[in-house]
Amino acid sequence: MILPPPRKTAKSLEKKQRKKEEKACLKLSYSKVEAANKLEDPMSTLSPFKKFERNGLSAIIECKRVADLDKGTIDWAFQLIKSNMQTLYEASDWGWNDREKKTELTEDKAWYLIARDVNSENKPIACVHFRFDLDYDDEVLYCYEIQLVPEVRRKGLGKFLMQILELLAYKTDMKKVILTIFKNNPVGEDFFMKKLKYSVDETSPEDPLFDEGYSYMILSKIMPEKKKVPSSNNNKEEMNNSKI
């Protein structure tokens, strides 16, 4: 005997609707990440941010996929990161591995901000490795590295580069900028949490649900929601009001 299908309860219908909405949200998040990664130049509408002139430092800033960077710049970025970070890595439970770091820096989804000193034949002085990606189903701009050569630190360039990342995240509809720092890096913690107002992300192992003993924290800054574009009628009304 074939039984009729079970009658759908309000609870089962609600669960089905919730799954449908979650699937739609994930699809939308994925499409936003894909669209961001297809951009020719994410900084095309940020021309004022392609130059930095403060505290005696004059630099130009470019945004490129790793595939569009020359080998010399990639090698320079690796050596800078190694010089600045190897000791911190070795003091953590991560350890340092040249091959693994090079692989991370040259993966297809890697994007870079490169700052170059215009007074020194455009030699590179700072780099930011970032990606548009999904993190726990959220569309995010993930900052993997921000590194400056010692002689240009404390001139405002690092903060300026992070502002660019936040603008890129906002313009591409990412939910937040996210990054990881070591707990044994008080300079980094002060920079991100005190100066830039980043906070511990809900996915960080600082959460009580995680075991103790993690050597790093995950920080993030939520991007503000974009204002809804008013209808054409509202636009006309606003324009009329502005002329009164």
Per-residue pLDDT tens listing for the chain (244 residues): 555 555 555 555 566 656 665 677 888 999 999 999 999 999 999 999 999 999 999 999 999 999 999 999 999 999 999 999 999 999 998 999 999 999 999 999 999 999 999 999 999 999 999 999 999 999 999 999 999 999 999 999 999 999 999 999 999 999 999 999 999 999 999 999 999 999 999 999 865 555 556 889 999 999 998 776 565 545 443 434 433 3
57 touches 152 (CB < 8 A): yes
Residue 101 buriedness (CB in 10 A; 0-12 / 13-18 / 19+): middle
Eight-state DSSP code of residue 197: -
Q: pTM of the entire structure?
A: 0.83
160 touches 126 (CB < 8 A): no
pLDDT score for 190: 95
Residue 42 buriedness (CB in 10 A; 0-12 / 13-18 / 19+): buried
Residue 49 buriedness (CB in 10 A; 0-12 / 13-18 / 19+): middle
Nearest to 112 by CA among 135, 95, 129: 129
* Cα pseudo-dihedral 158, 160, 163, 167, rounded to 10: -130
